[in-house]
Structure 1
Amino acid sequence: MKTLAIAAPGAMGAAVAAVLTQHGARVICPLKTRSCASQQRALAAHIEDASAVELCDAEIILSILPPESALSWAQQMVPHLQAAVRKPLFVDCNAISPETLQQVAQVIEATGTPFADAAIIGLPPGAQNPQGPRFWFAGAHAVQLAELEKYGLRVRAMKAENGAASALKMAYAGINKGITLLTSAMLINASRVGAADALREEMQESQAALMQRMEKAAPDMLPKAWRWAAEMDEIATLNQGELATDRLYQALGEICRQLADDAQHQQQFSALLTAFFQPDADKAG
């Protein structure tokens, strides 16, 4: 039985682990200090508790974390990886820029541990995404990771060096999430000055596909805005200095923080977005 380790049983990590265990793999993760919700996810996914030292006994370690934690967690694993007689393959699957990935790779490879770059594109496996996300792997060990298809993952190996998968993730998220954030901001801005009805009418006539997309994407984005902020910060560093995209995505990261703060307090922005897509319900109220 193949043993894989995951960094944390978050929404993506636990859902990926569930697929792996359903297909015959053993998945381990440190659980004792995790929240009740994380432990419940781990239990449902049949993840086994293991110490940080024991993670190094796995054949593959999948680092699936919020982007701001990718480097610090790699640094925490250094002494355990240094002490390991047989080194696992460390795979960074986080939404980080190639520059941040290079920092993580240097930390891990300094211990003699092999390293691979990965991008997860798509929602966690589950009812909303039965097929599961696609894993793109880059670097010298990408071909080796293709065997994870046997354990239920959708895998693509890139013929490229480490950093290419991270760049892919940044570009895809920059397009996909960037459109959602930019459109949401304009809907809010128009609504605040009384132009919601006219903008809705115009978009329904000239941007019907975007309207249909946003009716689902905007409500889905709001509870995740706090998590998207760090990802926008990472995207801002992609080819920084070549194009002015750094300033664009820094601004989108700030919009994420404003939306997240609003959701915790006034809820003015979320109310405006809800009213934009449900005008009849708003008038009835």
Structure 2
Amino acid sequence: MTTMNAMVVGGAGFLGSHLVDRLLAEGIATDVIDDLSTGSLGNLADARHAGGSLKIHTLDVRAAEFATLVSMRRPEVIYHLAVLTPANAQHETDGGAVAGVLAVLEAARMHGVTKVVVALPAGDLYGEVPARELPVKEGRAFESSSVAGVLARTVTDLMLVYRDQYAIEFTVLAMTSVYGPRQRPSDGVVASFVAAHVAGEALVVHGDGRQTRDLMYVDDAVDALLRAGQRGGGLVINVGTGVQTAVRDLAAVLQLDPALVHQGRRHGDLTRVCVSPTRARIHLQWSPWTQLADGVQATLAHASAAAAE
């Protein structure tokens, strides 16, 4: 890894904080940009004690100060992980996601940033995909009809425009359901089940539980992000396991035998989400390695230890 200076927008969030940990471990000076609307400084506790070069800026990328900061810090790579997160994707109606991406691209254009990496939810990009076409490959049209889907497509179009007109290199990672330590219970099914178990509560399943997700451990996702800082220019690349897991089967993977409480299916929930990681293997030299059973057990152990403190 030759990058020496990186900036992580959304670096106090679940995925962002794990990326920050990895960047520092690689000896890369890292600036965190986060307005803390959904992120938490607590997620950066390990990073703040890691001894690397870390600076944390409580800032919205749409503020004028962001471009000034980019001009001062001169990152080689900007990772934008706060475009459409589980916390905001269902409620994004004011165009903030697009404005934020534009702010990042403009700052990159003005101040010579080499690469911009954006993470988007694969489900928002592809929408409801027939079972026969899973795991979905990147050549499939982006057909989601949700607001988040339209915004995700707009973001990818903007990346292409800035690459063509201003030579700003980019990689868009279409990520499946990332899970692991630090994730909020409301942001993923694994985190929800783990939190309920630790609290001694019933596990809530929305719908019949037959809906499937492509569940990827956070360390695997972070490795793909790190590699995208150097590879995969000009591409949308799926990042997932290529394996579907039914929500109702997850309790067994967690080695739990609780009562499942079924509630109504939530508006906008997809029936199936699963992506092919073939392009990631080719262009990022990346493949997922964490088995689902190992990842969920690590997540459960972390949550149990945190609850005991």
TM-score by length of 1: 0.47
The structure in which a higher percent of residues are strand is: 2
TM-score by length of 2: 0.44
Q: Per chain length, whose mean CA-contact separation is higher, i.e. which structure has more relative contact order (CA < 8 Å, sep 6+)?
A: 2
The structure in which a higher percent of residues are helix is: 1
